Amino acid sequence: MLAELKGLNEECGVFGIWGHEQAAQLTYYALQSLQHRGQEGAGIVASTGSEITSHKGEGLVTEVFSQEQLDQLVGHGAVGHVRYTTAGGGGYENVQPLLFRSQTGSLALAHNGNLVNANALKHQLERQGSILQTTSDTEVLAHLIKRSGYENVKERVKNALTMLKGAYAFVIMTETELMVALDPNGLRPLSLGQIGDGYAVASETCAFDIIGAEYIRSVEPGELLIINDDGIRSERFTYATNRSICTMEYVYFSRPDSDIDGINVHSARKRLGKQLAAEFPIEADVVTGVPDSSISAAIGYAEAANIPYEMGLIKNRYIGRTFIQPSQELREQGVKMKLSPVRGVVEGKRVIMVDDSIVRGTTSRRIVNMLKDAGATEVHVMISSPPIKNPCFYGIDTSTHEELIASKNSVEEIRQIIGADSLSFLSVEGMVTAIGRPDSGENKGHCLACFTGKYPTEIYPDTLHPYEKELTH
Ligand code: SF4
């Protein structure tokens, strides 16, 4: 499904590199490969080992950086960020990496995820005299690091990290080193790679492929990596960890060529499609997927069901982003402009349409209508994940209970709303088994909260949307 139409948006991608003379240029390429994780803003901070320079702006990576600007970002260390605007709102000051300069040195920070206790910490910091420059919760970490009583930066970072709750993959850079931290639940993906004598970290491994880095391993929950001119060191800021990777990274967000904890995303999606075919066999003439993220699952379904996979929907690739607006009416118009049915494929056919998820349902209704208008005799909608019934507080913009169609309607009611001939959602167990993580434990290393309502961390009341607060009273 198309991210900007679905109402299910990733908030950010992070990248960091140390020990390469072309650090900023490579960060630029890496950010382009992470562009699907955020299109609202981008930034790079580079370090020579003694001096830090930065450039950031609103828009796509290619819009923010010219070659001239990149040439000014000199040094063998760099951190970069792409941003989707929700937490803290938009605006230049919230584009990351955030850079703080002081007498004792500079600190650049880039964050993927969402802190559930950010507001509580902000109030506490303000009471203690801190003046926050942005509305982004990322800044909280900078203030906590600054205020920590420890002598050395690493101990201050460790101490500050223990105060955070929620999802965070942080890359932090001073003039002399890069520090990388992942929250105790490992909610967001973060991988470590090697490039020449240097190291790189990225939200997704597709960033390594584009710069020629070699994947080493995932960063572990509760781990703090310190990378500098002496090499790399792994330390822990906590041992109280419980891996709960965001399942939607496998289902929908990550690029199909990325691997998460050694599992290729395209292959996982194909298995989700196969599992869907095993759980819901149905007679049909063609299987089609909603581009781009559902194509792998559709291929998997088609293979397992022995029904031809066809390109029943195509994406109009050259529609500008500005056409896609966040209002309902314009979002629906956006669907029309972004996707087209292939009449020659669907006319007179019973079509299985595989999609990765349903959030509000309006996009699904529009696509079903589109296929029927193009002559499909039946449209059976197969969703390669379970119904999303609960909002996400960990950096994914899944709106509120109120906006989630599955929180208020049964599967049959949703079927009627979207006008499909049948509608099926993959089971939670089927999804977890198909993804195939080797973890033990009830959730097999997954966060499943948007499906099950069981959140892996405490949720603070002020994290909730006003409507959600009413619900909890
Ligand atoms: S609640 Fe859902 S979208 Fe949010 S982190 Fe968990 S699995 Fe991912």
One-character DSSP codes across 321-390: GGG--SSHHHHHHHHHHHEEE-HHHHTT-EEEEEES--SSSHHHHHHHHHHHHTT-SEEEEEESS----S
pLDDT > 90? residue 194 = yes
Band (333; pLDDT cuts 50, 70, 90): low
Task: Give the pLDDT mean for 339-346.
Answer: 95
Task: Give the pLDDT mean for 332-355.
Answer: 87
pLDDT > 90? residue 317 = no
pTM: 0.92
pLDDT of residue 125: 87
Q: Is the CB of 392 under 6 A from ligand 1?
A: yes
pLDDT > 70? residue 435 = yes
Pairing verdict, β 98-102 and 9-10: unpaired
φ, ψ (nearest 5 deg) of residue 79: -130, 145
pLDDT of residue 126: 86
Q: How far apart are CA 166 and CA 291, in angstroms?
A: 31
Least confident of 37-46, 121-130, 242-251: 121-130
Specify the DSSP element, H or E, that contains 413: helix 411-418
Strand-by-strand arrangement of the 286-289 sheet:
286-289, 350-355, 378-383, 422-425
Q: Which of 276, 273, 243 is nearest to 261 (CA)?
A: 243
Q: How far apart are CA 245 and CA 223, in angstroms?
A: 15
The residue whose C-alpha atom lies closest to atom 4 belonging to ligand 1 is 392
Per residue in 270-294, pLDDT tens?
Answer: 999 999 999 999 999 999 999 988 9
Task: Give the pLDDT mean for 74-96.
Answer: 83
Q: How many residues does the chain have?
A: 473
Atom of ligand 1 minimally distant from the CA of 449: 1
Band (471; pLDDT cuts 50, 70, 90): very low
Q: Is the CB of 404 under 6 A from ligand 1?
A: no
Residues with a catalytic annotation lie at 12
Per residue in 117-168, pLDDT tens?
Answer: 988 898 888 888 888 877 788 889 999 998 888 888 999 999 999 999 999 9
Atom of ligand 1 minimally distant from the CA of 390: 1
Name beta bridge partners: 15.
Answer: 80, 202
pLDDT > 70? residue 328 = no
Q: Is the CB of 393 under 6 A from ligand 1?
A: no
Q: Is the CB of 394 under 6 A from ligand 1?
A: yes
Q: Is the CB of 248 under 6 A from ligand 1?
A: yes
Q: How far is the CA of 428 from the centre of ligand 1 (A)?
A: 13
User: Looking at per-residue confidence, does 397 or 232 come out higher?
Assistant: 232
Name beta bridge partners: 14.
Answer: 81
pLDDT of residue 19: 98
| Mean of pLDDT over the chain | 90
pLDDT > 90? residue 182 = yes
Atom of ligand 1 minimally distant from the CA of 188: 5
The residue whose C-alpha atom lies closest to atom 2 belonging to ligand 1 is 450
